[in-house]
Structure 1
């Protein structure tokens, strides 16, 4: 079970915002590693998305194992079936997300992946037997309309890579179903450690056919992705533990702001009117869902 934390909404908000800055940072590094966005192979030959996600799990796993050793904690009877299913879809979502940001603006990819709670809500109907009322359906439909706008469905502007971000959102939505079953059964540190242990096993098998030797700078960037994500997960879960889910969930959408800022500063990408409109609609629908979840007690997703 989770250890009780003293309620502190201000600290919770700071922790969630810190987590979003870290999450956007991992996306920034993934884009730099998976494309030549910095120019003339500044870091080396672009890495395959599967190799980037492998680095994410490898260094996050090492981080949590060190924490586990320092705190002298042991893993106690984890539900490997649920952990395995959750990690499989989480790994797939991460890999698809990293693939998408190599080809489309970070703001677009980040906004589309915010659809994951919408897909989780839809899938919870047949898989968890949940009932969905008109408010939640309206919010979900609004968010899907926003995604359709971001996909730019015209022959002149359609970006196939945006479908990768959409598939990432579906995968993460499925993962949320397993997280809802797992949450509350095991300590936070155990959940994160087991998640990354299984994740590195899956990622290692998947990366084998596309593996190339990273340069020294690429190793540093891969380590940065893993450590930043470990920090993000820790900050996020501690933030959730210190305030109601409905209070902290809206702060998680700051990831989109950080992604847009990082993209502009590092790659000169400026959000256009279509991005602002589609992202605004998605965030509006997601915000309504987050506020509605106070009654159904849905647990916010752990960052990837």
Structure 2
């Protein structure tokens, strides 16, 4: 795959990789929802196997390519960052056990807005009026999708929101640590520490596959996660993040499409209004960030 994209224009290759990663993540979410919602697999077990398989595939590649990635002087920060990531993963997988995939994926897109709020509260970064408008607009979109005033609302829908918060914290710590830690080091320690913690959480319900079908699904989810993470990292390494952002938002229709085909989940009209507000507000945040970097 690497040889193919070295002969392709970076912009074209980056866009393709981003779309490919989005498709794979949509497939992973569909597998996870089928395993937890339809087959009754415990979410903790699904999360363990998904990231164990991804770790077994990615860690040797990272170590061979960047052996210096094992060196770090910030182990406590890595532990805190991974702790946030673990909570995010567990909340996300648990949410997929109860919440239609269209609602879960739309709500997880709130993460950048939580990053903005937390950057102001935790890191003391200046949050301009433009950013606050974007954040409020994004949260209004999230409320439209949640619809807590309707009879169809279930508290389980708050799981993806919680995942967005903790993945936002993870992103914030990644941003903070990137000044001293390389991307390879950040990825390596995330995977190495994530797996044993997930294993500990899954011990209560057991780690076994419980059948060939479940085993194939869990291994498939892990392999797709590993390939998608590689494609994502490769895309960001060859193309500017601002250019890639529109392609990242394609994950919404990908997940909705698979949810419709596999589960028959037809999202209501309110989803599109809420999603439009979230996507529009995220573009506004991105433009503001680009202007600040240019300045």
Aligned residue for 1:265?
261
Alignment of 1:86-125 (within 5 A): 86-125=81-120
Shift in Å at residue 183 of structure 1?
2.5
Aligned residue for 1:10?
12
**What is the CA deviation profile of residues 35-91 of structure 1, one whole-angstrom value per residue up to 9, with x for unaligned ones?**
11xxxx4xxxx1111111111221111011332465483543223222222221112
Unpaired segments ≥5 residues, structure 1: 298-304
**What is the CA deviation profile of residues 101-134 of structure 1, one whole-angstrom value per residue up to 9, with x for unaligned ones?**
2222211101101111110110111221210111
Asked if 1 retains the 8 angstrom alpha-carbon contact of 2:53 and 2:219, the reply is yes
Asked if 1 retains the 8 angstrom alpha-carbon contact of 2:69 and 2:184, the reply is no
Instruction: Supply the RMSD in Å over aligned alpha carbons.
Output: 2.0
Alignment of 1:1-304 (within 5 A): 8-36=10-38, 41=39, 46-68=40-62, 71=65, 73=67, 75-78=69-72, 79-183=74-178, 185-211=180-206, 213-214=208-209, 215-296=211-292
Asked if 1 retains the 8 angstrom alpha-carbon contact of 2:59 and 2:191, the reply is no
TM norm structure 2:
0.90
Give the Cα–Cα distance (whole angstroms) in 2 for the partners of residues 296 and 53 of structure 1. 37
TM norm structure 1:
0.87
Asked if 2 retains the 8 angstrom alpha-carbon contact of 1:61 and 1:197, the reply is yes
Asked if 2 retains the 8 angstrom alpha-carbon contact of 1:7 and 1:243, the reply is no
Q: What secondary structure, in the 3-state scheme, does the structure 2 residue paired with 1:12 have?
A: helix
Relative distance call for 1:184 and 1:25 in structure 2 (3 A) is farther
Give the Cα–Cα distance (whole angstroms) in 2 for the partners of residues 98 and 282 of structure 1. 22
Asked if 2 retains the 8 angstrom alpha-carbon contact of 1:20 and 1:254, the reply is yes
Moved more, 213-222 or 199-208: 213-222
Shift in Å at residue 212 of structure 1?
5.4
Give the Cα–Cα distance (whole angstroms) in 2 for the partners of residues 61 and 202 of structure 1. 13
Shift in Å at residue 192 of structure 1?
2.0
Aligned residue for 2:3?
none
Query: What is the aligned residue count?
Result: 285
Q: What secondary structure, in the 3-state scheme, does the structure 1 residue paired with 2:203 have?
A: helix
Shift in Å at residue 244 of structure 1?
1.9
Relative distance call for 1:117 and 1:72 in structure 2 (3 A) is closer
Asked if 2 retains the 8 angstrom alpha-carbon contact of 1:64 and 1:192, the reply is no
Asked if 1 retains the 8 angstrom alpha-carbon contact of 2:71 and 2:185, the reply is no
Shift in Å at residue 255 of structure 1?
1.1
**What is the CA deviation profile of residues 175-208 of structure 1, one whole-angstrom value per residue up to 9, with x for unaligned ones?**
1111102225444333322211100011011111
